[in-house]
Amino acid sequence: MKITEMAIPDAYRIRPEQILDVRGNFYEAWRISELSKVIGRPFPVMQVNYSVSRRNTLRGIHGTSVPPGQAKLITCVRGRVLDVVVDLRVGSPTFGMYDTTIQDEESGIAVYLADGLGHAFLALTEGACMNYVCAEEYVHGTMIDVQALDPDLGIPWKLTEPPIMSEKDRAAPTLNEAVALGLLPTYQQCRDVCPSPDRGGVPSEST
């Protein structure tokens, strides 16, 4: 597998190397040891979630308060999505910036998000299924919601019709409103929970 850092520090893409034959294909989606080496800390699997979405469903932007945080490894296991990582860490050099990845069942590409990063995606196919492997169990009341359609973020969703959204996501504050309300973690808080690894030799890639 190939692990590359995204345009947002502490977010990574994991591209598996597929083995093809007459039966189909086989690949290692990820290895805990390889991921832990890159992120500079163990990645314990504490909770696994799935979501299934209708085409044109927009979920997010979702994050988790720090502490407790909830680092995630996210993969599209059926269908195709436009996946987005947003830096929600106040004081981060890339605060408010995003990076995008097309995830689909054919490629098996996964995205890792450290504590303090927000996640959103747009389902490009019917019944798109996402798998979330989490390093912490979710603690009720710690979810952070930020408006995915915030014009100041300018995420290129390329919508051709109004997206399907939950009422909670539709009513979520903009990034500036979330800052004013004190909802977002600071860059230092996230660094205290998850110190930055030595990234020597880890290539960077942006989509």
Which structure tokens are listed for 156? 């290129």
Say whether 62 is catalytic: yes
Contact of 42 with 36, CB cutoff 8 Å = yes
Would residue 182 be called left, alpha or beta, if left means φ above 0 and alpha means ψ between -120 and 50 degrees?
left
**Do 103 and 135 touch, CB atoms closer than 8 A?**
no
What is the bridge-based pairing of β-strands 110-113 and 143-145? unpaired
- Per the annotation, the verdict on 187 as an active-site residue is no
H helix or E strand, kind and range, residue 32: helix 32-39
Amino acid code (one letter) for 202: V
Rounded CA-CA distance 42/45 in Å is 10
Query: Of 62, 98, 112, 187, which one is the catalytic site residue?
Result: 62
Tell me which residue has tokens 């590359």. 4
Best CA proximity match to 49, nearest among 15, 83, 16, 73 = 73
Active-site entry in 50, 98, 112, 132? 132
Closest CA to 184 of 141, 153, 148, 143: 143
Catalytic residues: 62, 132
